[in-house]
Amino acid sequence: MDQVCGTSKIAGCSFSIHPMSDEFAGIILEILKKVDTSKVWLDTDDVTTTVRGRVEHIFDVTKAILLHVSKTNVHAAFHATYSIGCPGDSAGDTYMAESLHRRNEDASRSITQPLAAKFSLYPMGGGSYMDTIYKQIEAMKSKGIQVTPAHYSTRLDGDTHTVFEGLENVFRETEASGSSHTVMTVSVSVNSPSSKESIL
Ligand SMILES: Cc1ncc(C[n+]2csc(CCO)c2C)c(N)n1
Protein backbone atom coordinates (compact mmCIF):
# COMPACT_ATOMS: atom_id res chain seq x y z
CA MET A 1 0.00 0.00 0.00
CA ASP A 2 1.48 3.41 -0.99
CA GLN A 3 1.81 5.73 1.99
CA VAL A 4 1.45 9.22 0.54
CA CYS A 5 0.48 12.69 1.70
CA GLY A 6 -2.11 14.88 0.07
CA THR A 7 -5.01 12.46 0.15
CA SER A 8 -6.91 14.36 2.82
CA LYS A 9 -10.06 14.77 0.76
CA ILE A 10 -10.64 11.05 0.73
CA ALA A 11 -13.11 10.31 3.46
CA GLY A 12 -13.75 6.85 4.75
CA CYS A 13 -15.87 4.91 7.15
CA SER A 14 -15.42 1.49 8.61
CA PHE A 15 -18.69 0.22 10.06
CA SER A 16 -20.56 -2.84 11.18
CA ILE A 17 -24.18 -3.67 11.80
CA HIS A 18 -25.27 -6.27 14.29
CA PRO A 19 -28.91 -7.26 13.90
CA MET A 20 -29.94 -9.21 16.99
CA SER A 21 -31.62 -12.00 15.14
CA ASP A 22 -30.77 -15.60 14.23
CA GLU A 23 -31.03 -14.38 10.64
CA PHE A 24 -28.23 -11.84 11.14
CA ALA A 25 -26.01 -13.01 8.26
CA GLY A 26 -28.80 -12.84 5.69
CA ILE A 27 -29.98 -9.46 6.96
CA ILE A 28 -26.47 -7.97 6.72
CA LEU A 29 -25.78 -9.33 3.24
CA GLU A 30 -29.20 -8.32 1.90
CA ILE A 31 -28.90 -4.76 3.19
CA LEU A 32 -25.43 -4.38 1.69
CA LYS A 33 -26.93 -5.45 -1.65
CA LYS A 34 -29.97 -3.15 -1.41
CA VAL A 35 -28.04 0.07 -0.88
CA ASP A 36 -26.54 1.80 -3.91
CA THR A 37 -22.79 1.82 -3.28
CA SER A 38 -21.76 2.72 -6.82
CA LYS A 39 -20.21 6.04 -5.77
CA VAL A 40 -17.90 4.63 -3.10
CA TRP A 41 -15.11 2.10 -2.95
CA LEU A 42 -16.34 -0.74 -0.74
CA ASP A 43 -14.87 -3.77 0.94
CA THR A 44 -16.69 -6.16 3.26
CA ASP A 45 -15.03 -8.78 5.42
CA ASP A 46 -16.07 -10.80 8.47
CA VAL A 47 -15.58 -7.84 10.84
CA THR A 48 -16.62 -4.62 9.06
CA THR A 49 -17.48 -2.96 5.80
CA THR A 50 -15.24 -0.09 4.69
CA VAL A 51 -16.36 2.60 2.29
CA ARG A 52 -14.12 5.33 0.85
CA GLY A 53 -14.78 8.33 -1.33
CA ARG A 54 -16.41 11.76 -1.08
CA VAL A 55 -17.85 12.85 2.26
CA GLU A 56 -21.42 13.11 0.90
CA HIS A 57 -21.38 9.59 -0.48
CA ILE A 58 -19.85 8.11 2.68
CA PHE A 59 -22.68 9.59 4.76
CA ASP A 60 -25.32 8.76 2.14
CA VAL A 61 -24.34 5.08 2.10
CA THR A 62 -23.90 4.64 5.86
CA LYS A 63 -27.20 6.39 6.65
CA ALA A 64 -29.01 4.27 4.05
CA ILE A 65 -27.60 1.06 5.55
CA LEU A 66 -28.65 2.09 9.04
CA LEU A 67 -32.16 3.01 7.81
CA HIS A 68 -32.52 -0.31 6.03
CA VAL A 69 -31.57 -2.26 9.13
CA SER A 70 -34.02 -0.11 11.15
CA LYS A 71 -36.76 -0.96 8.68
CA THR A 72 -36.48 -4.66 9.49
CA ASN A 73 -37.78 -3.81 13.01
CA VAL A 74 -35.03 -6.04 14.39
CA HIS A 75 -33.10 -4.65 17.33
CA ALA A 76 -29.73 -3.73 15.83
CA ALA A 77 -26.46 -2.04 16.71
CA PHE A 78 -24.47 0.05 14.25
CA HIS A 79 -20.89 1.11 14.93
CA ALA A 80 -19.00 3.41 12.60
CA THR A 81 -15.62 5.13 12.52
CA TYR A 82 -15.43 8.03 10.06
CA SER A 83 -12.02 9.39 9.13
CA ILE A 84 -10.61 12.10 6.88
CA GLY A 85 -7.04 13.27 6.45
CA CYS A 86 -5.23 10.32 8.00
CA PRO A 87 -1.50 10.98 7.38
CA GLY A 88 -0.89 7.26 6.98
CA ASP A 89 -3.62 6.94 4.37
CA SER A 90 -2.98 5.83 0.83
CA ALA A 91 -4.30 7.33 -2.37
CA GLY A 92 -5.68 3.96 -3.43
CA ASP A 93 -8.89 2.15 -2.64
CA THR A 94 -11.19 5.06 -3.33
CA TYR A 95 -13.68 6.28 -5.85
CA MET A 96 -14.07 10.07 -5.92
CA ALA A 97 -17.28 10.24 -7.95
CA GLU A 98 -17.57 13.62 -9.63
CA SER A 99 -21.28 14.02 -9.18
CA LEU A 100 -22.43 15.08 -5.73
CA HIS A 101 -25.91 13.59 -6.20
CA ARG A 102 -26.63 11.20 -3.34
CA ARG A 103 -27.77 7.92 -4.87
CA ASN A 104 -29.70 6.72 -1.82
CA GLU A 105 -31.30 9.92 -0.56
CA ASP A 106 -34.68 9.51 -2.30
CA ALA A 107 -35.17 5.99 -0.94
CA SER A 108 -33.79 6.96 2.48
CA ARG A 109 -36.20 9.91 2.80
CA SER A 110 -39.15 7.53 2.76
CA ILE A 111 -37.91 5.87 5.97
CA THR A 112 -38.58 7.65 9.25
CA GLN A 113 -36.74 6.27 12.22
CA PRO A 114 -35.95 7.69 15.63
CA LEU A 115 -32.56 6.66 16.95
CA ALA A 116 -30.32 6.86 19.98
CA ALA A 117 -26.64 7.39 19.31
CA LYS A 118 -23.41 8.23 21.05
CA PHE A 119 -20.72 10.05 19.14
CA SER A 120 -17.14 11.00 19.88
CA LEU A 121 -15.10 13.49 17.89
CA TYR A 122 -11.31 13.38 17.66
CA PRO A 123 -9.93 16.47 15.87
CA MET A 124 -6.22 15.74 15.54
CA GLY A 125 -3.38 18.01 14.52
CA GLY A 126 -5.30 21.27 14.69
CA GLY A 127 -4.54 22.78 18.09
CA SER A 128 -7.33 23.49 20.58
CA TYR A 129 -9.27 20.28 20.13
CA MET A 130 -11.57 20.71 23.14
CA ASP A 131 -12.86 24.05 21.77
CA THR A 132 -13.66 22.32 18.49
CA ILE A 133 -15.48 19.49 20.27
CA TYR A 134 -17.57 21.84 22.47
CA LYS A 135 -18.44 24.00 19.46
CA GLN A 136 -19.65 20.98 17.50
CA ILE A 137 -21.73 19.67 20.41
CA GLU A 138 -23.43 23.09 20.56
CA ALA A 139 -24.07 22.89 16.81
CA MET A 140 -25.90 19.60 17.35
CA LYS A 141 -28.17 21.20 19.95
CA SER A 142 -29.14 23.95 17.53
CA LYS A 143 -30.50 21.33 15.11
CA GLY A 144 -33.18 20.22 17.52
CA ILE A 145 -31.40 17.01 18.45
CA GLN A 146 -31.63 16.01 22.12
CA VAL A 147 -28.04 16.21 23.34
CA THR A 148 -26.97 14.61 26.61
CA PRO A 149 -23.44 14.61 28.03
CA ALA A 150 -21.88 11.20 28.66
CA HIS A 151 -18.45 9.94 29.62
CA TYR A 152 -16.16 9.76 26.56
CA SER A 153 -19.00 10.56 24.17
CA THR A 154 -22.15 12.64 23.69
CA ARG A 155 -25.58 11.08 23.46
CA LEU A 156 -27.88 12.12 20.61
CA ASP A 157 -31.59 11.30 20.44
CA GLY A 158 -33.57 12.30 17.39
CA ASP A 159 -34.71 11.52 13.91
CA THR A 160 -32.12 9.57 11.86
CA HIS A 161 -32.04 12.16 9.05
CA THR A 162 -31.56 15.07 11.44
CA VAL A 163 -28.87 13.27 13.43
CA PHE A 164 -26.96 12.23 10.30
CA GLU A 165 -27.17 15.74 8.84
CA GLY A 166 -25.73 16.97 12.13
CA LEU A 167 -22.97 14.36 12.16
CA GLU A 168 -21.97 15.17 8.58
CA ASN A 169 -21.81 18.88 9.44
CA VAL A 170 -19.71 18.18 12.52
CA PHE A 171 -17.31 16.10 10.41
CA ARG A 172 -17.05 18.72 7.64
CA GLU A 173 -16.71 21.70 9.96
CA THR A 174 -14.07 20.01 12.11
CA GLU A 175 -12.03 19.35 8.97
CA ALA A 176 -12.60 22.89 7.67
CA SER A 177 -11.61 24.45 10.99
CA GLY A 178 -8.05 23.14 10.66
CA SER A 179 -8.03 19.61 12.05
CA SER A 180 -5.56 17.82 9.80
CA HIS A 181 -6.92 14.40 10.68
CA THR A 182 -10.49 14.07 11.93
CA VAL A 183 -11.92 10.89 13.37
CA MET A 184 -15.51 10.52 14.53
CA THR A 185 -17.00 7.39 16.05
CA VAL A 186 -20.74 6.76 16.16
CA SER A 187 -22.58 3.99 18.01
CA VAL A 188 -26.27 3.60 17.31
CA SER A 189 -29.01 1.42 18.70
CA VAL A 190 -32.28 1.03 16.79
CA ASN A 191 -35.46 -0.80 17.71
CA SER A 192 -34.20 -1.40 21.22
CA PRO A 193 -36.69 -3.05 23.57
CA SER A 194 -35.09 -1.14 26.48
CA SER A 195 -36.32 2.27 27.47
CA LYS A 196 -33.73 4.99 27.87
CA GLU A 197 -34.17 5.61 31.60
CA SER A 198 -34.57 2.25 33.24
CA ILE A 199 -32.44 -0.55 31.88
CA LEU A 200 -31.74 -2.48 35.09
C1 LIG B 1 -21.85 -3.71 7.66
C2 LIG B 1 -21.17 -4.97 8.12
N3 LIG B 1 -20.20 -5.48 7.37
C4 LIG B 1 -19.58 -6.63 7.72
C5 LIG B 1 -19.96 -7.27 8.88
C6 LIG B 1 -19.31 -8.56 9.28
N7 LIG B 1 -20.22 -9.67 9.13
C8 LIG B 1 -20.72 -10.33 10.21
S9 LIG B 1 -21.83 -11.53 9.74
C10 LIG B 1 -21.66 -11.16 8.10
C11 LIG B 1 -22.45 -11.87 7.02
C12 LIG B 1 -22.03 -13.25 6.72
O13 LIG B 1 -20.72 -13.53 6.91
C14 LIG B 1 -20.73 -10.15 7.92
C15 LIG B 1 -20.36 -9.65 6.59
C16 LIG B 1 -20.98 -6.70 9.67
N17 LIG B 1 -21.44 -7.23 10.82
N18 LIG B 1 -21.58 -5.54 9.26
Interval between CA 115 and ligand 1 midpoint (Å)? 21
Judge whether 195 lies within some domain: no
Interval between CA 24 and ligand 1 midpoint (Å)? 8
Q: What are the angstrom distances between the C-alpha of 119 and each of 26, 145, 150, 195?
A: 28, 13, 10, 19
Instruction: Measure the CA–CA gap between 96 and 15, rounded to whole angstroms.
Output: 19
Closest residue CA from atom 4 of ligand 1: 48
Judge whether 156 lies within some domain: yes
Judge whether 37 lies within some domain: yes
Interval between CA 142 and ligand 1 midpoint (Å)? 35
DSSP state of 73: T
Judge whether 5 lies within some domain: no
Instruction: State yes or no: pLDDT of 20 exceeds 60.
Output: yes
Interval between CA 29 and ligand 1 midpoint (Å)? 7
Instruction: Measure the CA–CA gap between 91 and 10, rounded to whole angstroms.
Output: 8
Q: Do the beta carbons of residue 12 and residue 83 sit within 8 Å?
A: yes
* Global model pTM greater than 0.90: yes
Closest residue CA from atom 12 of ligand 1: 25
Ligand 1: which residues within 6 Å by Cβ? 15-18, 25, 28-29, 44, 46-49
Judge whether 22 lies within some domain: yes
Instruction: State yes or no: pLDDT of 4 exceeds 80.
Output: no
Judge whether 29 lies within some domain: yes
Closest residue CA from atom 14 of ligand 1: 46
Contacts with 58 (C-beta within 8 Å, 6 or more apart), sequence order: 11, 12, 13, 40, 51, 52, 82
Closest residue CA from atom 11 of ligand 1: 25
Q: Is the dihedral of CA 2, 54, 83, 43 positive or negative?
A: negative
pLDDT score for 88: 83
Instruction: State yes or no: pLDDT of 87 exceeds 90.
Output: no
User: Of ligand 1's atoms, which has the minimum distance to the CA of residue 32?
Assistant: 1
Per the structure, the complete domain to which residue 156 belongs is given by 11-97+112-190
The CATH number covering residue 36 comes to 3.30.70.930
Sheet holding 181-190, edge to edge: 41-44, 49-53, 11-19, 76-84, 181-190, 114-124, 153-159, 146-150
pLDDT score for 9: 81
Interval between CA 73 and ligand 1 midpoint (Å)? 18
Segment 176-194 shows an average pLDDT of 94
Confidence of residue 2 (pLDDT cuts 50, 70, 90): very low
Tally of domains in the chain: 1
- Provide the residue type at 145 as one letter: I
Q: pLDDT tens digits, residue range 163-172?
A: 999 999 999 9
Segment 70-80 shows an average pLDDT of 96
Instruction: State yes or no: pLDDT of 94 exceeds 90.
Output: no
Judge whether 15 lies within some domain: yes
Closest residue CA from atom 5 of ligand 1: 48
Instruction: State yes or no: pLDDT of 73 exceeds 90.
Output: yes
Q: Do the beta carbons of residue 16 and residue 78 sit within 8 Å?
A: yes
DSSP state of 35: S
User: Of ligand 1's atoms, which has the minimum distance to the CA of residue 47?
Assistant: 6
Judge whether 18 lies within some domain: yes
Closest residue CA from atom 7 of ligand 1: 46
